[in-house]
Amino acid sequence: MVEMTETASILNNLSNRSLILMDEIGRGTSTYDGVSIAWSIVEYLHNHKDYKAKTLFATHYHELNQLAEDLVRVKNFNVSVKEIGDKIIFMRTLKEGGSEHSFGIHVAQLAGMPNRIVLRANEILHFLEKEKHKNEPQKKFDSLPKANAQISLFDADPKMKEVHEMLGKIDINTISPVEALLKLNEILTLYKK
């Protein structure tokens, strides 16, 4: 409510001298509500009949990238990121164009989030992305892998040979903790196939 009240105040008090800085408008509600609110605010500011306020609108809603194609004064920029294998490096520079990726899980890991949470979040993310591409309504998450799922190293399973080979290729003296977590996630993903 506080965010919406502040946003309403901004939108109701526009002038030709307005400089508007908005950060993650719509984040406190459901994804579709948030995207809808953010989208309509951008359109309102762009199409205002009296004022053309200079606006910086930071968002993680990738759907808003579309607005640059539909509204002539909207320009997309994103923070440059370099991906090296499973690692990312934030380049701390802006480049033109919208971003299609979020790096929230990487940021959580960099911030020191417990490894269990990072791995579980990554597992859930892959599930949700797979479900999204099926174009089916997501009413139930019954097929989401359960959080307490564990692999048993002692079961006679043909996948164990492949897992054993992967483990044999890891040099534990040179692998970083982040690389180890990503390798473990790769093994878990392989094992669940």
Give me the torsion for CA of 118, 120, 124, 127, rounded to 10°: 110
Domain 2-102 is classified in which CATH homologous superfamily? P-loop containing nucleotide triphosphate hydrolases (3.40.50.300)
From the list 46, 55, 57, 1, the residue with the least C-alpha distance to 24 is 57
pLDDT in the model for residue 151: 44
- Total-model pTM: 0.63
Contact between residue 20 and residue 53 where contact means Cβ atoms under 8 Å apart: yes
How close are the terminal C-alpha atoms of the chain, in Å?
A: 44
**Reduced to 3 states, what is the DSSP secondary structure of residue 135?**
coil
Extended strands (E) in the chain: 19-23, 54-58, 77-84, 87-96
For residue 125, CA distances in Å to 104, 121, 130, 159 come to 10, 6, 9, 23
**Reduced to 3 states, what is the DSSP secondary structure of residue 49?**
coil
Structure tokens at 110: 């960099």
Q: Which one-letter DSSP state was computed for residue 181?
A: H
Structure tokens at 133: 């591409």
Q: What is the pLDDT along the chain (193 residues), one digit of tens a residue?
A: 888 999 999 999 999 899 999 999 988 888 889 999 999 999 999 999 999 999 999 998 889 999 999 999 999 999 898 888 777 888 889 999 998 778 888 888 889 899 889 889 988 888 887 876 665 554 455 565 656 544 444 344 567 777 777 788 888 778 888 888 888 888 887 767 6
pLDDT in the model for residue 101: 78
pLDDT in the model for residue 149: 46
**Reduced to 3 states, what is the DSSP secondary structure of residue 74?**
coil
**Rounded to whole angstroms, how far apart are CA atoms 111 and 82?**
18
Domain range list for the chain: 2-102, 104-147, 150-193
**Rounded to whole angstroms, how far apart are CA atoms 10 and 42?**
13
Find tokens 């020191």 and name the residue.
112
Our measurement of the distance from residue 55's CA atom to the centroid of its chain's CA atoms, rounded to an integer in Å, reads 23
